[in-house]
Amino acid sequence: MSANTLYGPKVQHTDGTVVPGKPLDLEHILADFVRLDAGDRAAVLSILAHDLTVGIRSILFDPPVSESGIECAKWMNEALHRLTACVNPRHRWSVDDEVSLIRRIVESSFRHKFEFWVGAALNSAKNAVLSKPSIPAE
């Protein structure tokens, strides 16, 4: 795993103050992820897919689109393709394969400069699903 750190999204308050995103603990997020049932894991993966779609749209629909933006969107789309493949209800991946996919997407996000979107997506998933009190204690 890369030594790079993912961050949640920055927040801009109505007074204009910008608060930087907080670092995400990927290992903690993945530990919570593996304890979820298949339906909740699918929800996390769907949130990641949705947020990557939003990222691709943001890059491509906000002219002018740079060559680096197109390259970034291409790799985000590849991650999106893999996410949608792994939540296919007729051929679900194992939890280990899902974790491996998330790790590969994170690593790829740093190589191809879309870590902002992956950090925001993981933060959304953490807040929506992974922070639920239903995760059993170890």
- Is there a domain that residue 17 lies in? no
- Is there a domain that residue 30 lies in? no
Whole-structure pTM value: 0.86
Query: Could you identify the residue written with the tokens 């925001």?
Result: 120
Asked if 2 and 8 touch (Cβ cutoff 8 Å), the reply is no
Low-confidence ranges of the chain (pLDDT < 50): 1-2, 135, 137-138
Which residues are CB-neighbours of 108 under 8 A, at least 6 positions away?
A: 75, 78, 79
pLDDT of residue 137: 45
pLDDT of residue 89: 87
Question: Which is it for the CA torsion 61, 109, 123, 6, positive or negative?
Answer: negative
Residue 107 sits in which domain range? Answer: 37-130
- Is there a domain that residue 56 lies in? yes
- Is there a domain that residue 14 lies in? no
- Is there a domain that residue 19 lies in? no
pLDDT of residue 61: 92
- Is there a domain that residue 26 lies in? no
pLDDT of residue 63: 84
pLDDT for 73-86, tens place per residue? 999 999 999 999 99
Integer-rounded Cα radius of gyration of the chain: 15
pLDDT of residue 2: 40
Domain count for the chain, please give it: 1
- Is there a domain that residue 8 lies in? no
pLDDT for 31-51, tens place per residue? 999 999 999 999 999 999 999
- Is there a domain that residue 78 lies in? yes
3 state DSSP class of 113: coil
pLDDT of residue 129: 86
Query: Could you identify the residue written with the tokens 């998330």?
Result: 102
